[in-house]
Every structure is written in structure tokens, then in C-alpha cells.
Amino acid sequence: MKTLEKSNVDKIFRAYDIRGIAGSEIDKALCFAVGYALSKFFKKICVAHDHRMSSEEFAKSLINGFTINGNKAIFIGMTPTPIVQFASRKLNCEAGVMITASHNPKEYNGIKVFRNDGERMNWEEVKKIILEEKQKIISLFSQSKEKEYEKLNVIPYYKEFLQNTFKFRKKYKIVIDGSNGPMGNLAKEILEGFGFETICIACEIDPNFPAHEPDPSKEKNTELCKKKVKQEKADFGLCFDGDGDRIIMIDEKSRFIPGDYLLAILSFLYEKPKVVTEVKASKAVIEFIQSRGGEVILERVGNVFVRKTMLKQSCDFAGEYSGHYFFKEYPVDDSLFAALKVISVIEKTNKPLGEIFDIIPKYYSSPEIRIKVGEKEKWKIVEEAKKYFSKLGNVIDIDGIRVETQNAWGLLRASNTEPKISIRIEGKTKSAYEDMLKKFLEFLKKQGIEVK
């Protein structure tokens, strides 16, 4: 079984999840093996899956592996990722497991594990169990039989939870872009339960993602939503990713609001907020939160890392440029909960989303520029960058290298989920931005990489 070979396991196990091409890199045998390994850590889990072609059979195979020694698994069925996290807490499970490749292209699939103790899943230990007990796992998998699992519907409990948590005075007109994933229709149903009017695009569940790539953190993937907000004169738009744990918002002026700027907007709910974000975050956002008496802690990229630091440091909330958010009172990676929090800001300030967005300073900045390189090569480039930029300014090296000068900063890091590196540049002035960008492009050119 090639998927259980060390070379493949090393390739698809990432810092905080598993991602690989369905069939050739991740299959039923690999999922069974992961389930078997997880049974060494937990006695009771709940399992769900997204709408990709292979996801349901992968979920059932993982359950087979987990329950082979008598452990208990509750099958939630097809659902957005936030629901399996909600279910694991509601049903007193030790963890929730989601079969999904999130925003990756349609040929991928993957596995996410959400521990309820706030700790990050130790994927190195999972790998070790699989590789050391590979022959036993292969034998057990070969003898295992297909089973039918009754699906437990937790959606009514989730709706009740949100209805009890949030109260709104006004009625809003909202455009929903579901990225052809499972969150679109659920968000529509719940938002209409608050009395809001909704207009849906890309809410039809389709594993081929025909509307656009299921990654709203790239502005090009929000164009349909922006146009619909303008056409319908909506109050704002909500853009979800493929598995529904990330959110990007469009204001009433049809403007894309980067994920880190939502952190600044959310800060209006708190006095002197204590916030965790990642090294990709805008300096304008950091300085704005600090100007309101807040504290900002920078962490490496990855929702598991910002969540863990939020809990450890007793912060009010946390979030990422890519659209992941967590809150002290509900530390779950839940895009819809985050959207309702932003609506709470709109209610508290009595201002449209765009007016709140305008309060926050804007610097000259690039989007996150992702560059495809080899899996091993990306780490070598990062190490070279640390040497190259070490004397340019203040260096933050918790994840790649972020170099800060008085008027600009630049970041180069390796992706945790793909064979890519990424850079992001920001400057308080156009000249400071262009100067920092030039330095990073010159470095990449020396590595044999041309960026257009």
C-alpha cells in the first residue's frame, strides 16, 4: 500500500493537518491508519466530512480504524468544518475529525483534527505509530468490512446555540458566497432565522467548485460577491471557503476587506483588547489595535497556533489574514460565528461596515504572493532569506522571516500545506513599499525565481 510508505507519509503530513491528492497520496487505507493511530490518543471522537467525491468513504474508513479496538466514534455526516468542532464539544468528545482539503483544488483531500483541550495534534506521533505498526495496520485494514453508520444531526443544536448567543435590532440584506461548499445553504438558513434577507451565489454543493476557486482570501475569488453586493445594494457580503471555516467580508461599497482588517473591526467590541494574529498581519492593523489600548501578540501562520496562544495567553480573540477567527468565549474555528460578531460591531457602532473599515489606516501593501517551488527547496529558500535579511531591520523569525524597518516590512515564509513560498510587503508610503518590494524581488532573483 503505497500511501503508507514513509516517503508518502512524510509528504502529506503537515504542521497542523494532512493534505494530499485523493487516490494516489491519501486513500481509504491511509485514513484507516490515521483512525487507528488516533485511537491511541482518544477514546471518543466525532467525525464529519465535506462534499468532495472521496470524502464520505474516507470518513467511514477512518472510523473503522478508530473503532477497531472498541473506541467510540460519532458520525456527523457531510457538514461544514465548524459543525464538527461544535459537535465534539456538545457531545463531550475529546476531539473532532474532519475529512476535507479546505480551500485546496478539487483533486485534493485531507484530514483535520480539533482537540478540545486546546492542544495541537501531534502529527509526528501519529506518523510514528503508522510507520512502526504499518504491517499490523495493513492486516487490520484488509480484514475490515464496510459498515453503515447512522448520521447524528447536530444542526438544530447549533442553530439554537447561535440564536441564544446573538441578538440583533436591525434587519440586514446580505449576499452569501458559499464557494459551492456546505456552508452556503446553512448560513442562509441561520441568517434568515435572525430575520435577515439573503441573496445566495455559489451555494449549490458541487465538488468541482465551478463558480471559482474555494479560497476567498484571494480577492479574485470574491468578484461575484462584490458585483452582487453592488447590484442588490446589500449591506455586506459573506464569502466562505470550501469547508466553511474561513470568512472574508465585502462592505456595502463592494470593497474586499482583508482578513487581518476584520481583526481591527472586531476590536470595537472590546476595551483594551488582547489579540493574537499571525506574522502576515498588516502593521496598520497592529498599530490601530494598539492605539485603542490593545495588545497584539504575533504568532506563526496556522490557525492551530494562533488558537493555542489565544487560550494560553487568555486573549480576547485571535485571527488570521486568511480568514480564520477564534474567540475566548467560543474558541472554535467558526466563520459564521465570526460573521455574527462583525454584525455585532455594526450594531454597536451604528455605522455601516464600510464606514468602520474607513476608520482604520491603510498602508501600501501587496497581497500574499504565492510562488510554487519544490517541497524541499522552499525550506532552503527560507534559510537563505534569514541570512540575507538579518541586518536590514528588526527581524521576527518565528515563521520564515519578517523584516521590519521604520516605514515598511516584508515577509517571506514557506507554506505549511503546499510546495510554495509566499511573500507579503507593506509600507507606510509608496516609496517605502516599493523599496522593500525591490529588496525581496532581488533576493528571489538570486535564488533563480522571477516574480512578475
Catalytic amino acids?
A: 102
As a whole number of angstroms, the distance between CA 237 and CA 227 comes to 10
Amino acid code (one letter) for 424: R
- Which residue intervals of 219-352 are DSSP H helices? 223-232, 259-266, 283-291, 303-312, 335-349
Q: What share of the chain is helix, strand, coil (3-state, %, to 5)?
A: 40, 20, 35
- Tell me the β-bridge partners of 299: 278
DSSP states along 2-18:
GGGSHHHHHHHB-SSSE
CA distance 96 to 114: 5
Per the CB < 8 A criterion, the answer to whether 119 and 42 are in contact is no
Whether the CB-CB separation of 62 and 32 falls below 8 Å is answered with yes
Q: CB atoms < 10 A from the CB of 432, how many?
A: 19
Beta bridge partners of residue 247, listed in sequence order: 240
- Which helix (H) or strand (E) is 275 found in, with range? strand 274-278
Q: Report d(CA 452, CA 449) in Å as an integer.
A: 10
HSE-CB at 103 with a 13 A cutoff on CA atoms is: 21
Which string of DSSP letters, residue by residue, matches 46-84?
Answer: EEEE-SSTTHHHHHHHHHHHHHTTT-EEEEEEE--HHHH
The CA R_g of the chain, rounded to the nearest whole Å, is: 22
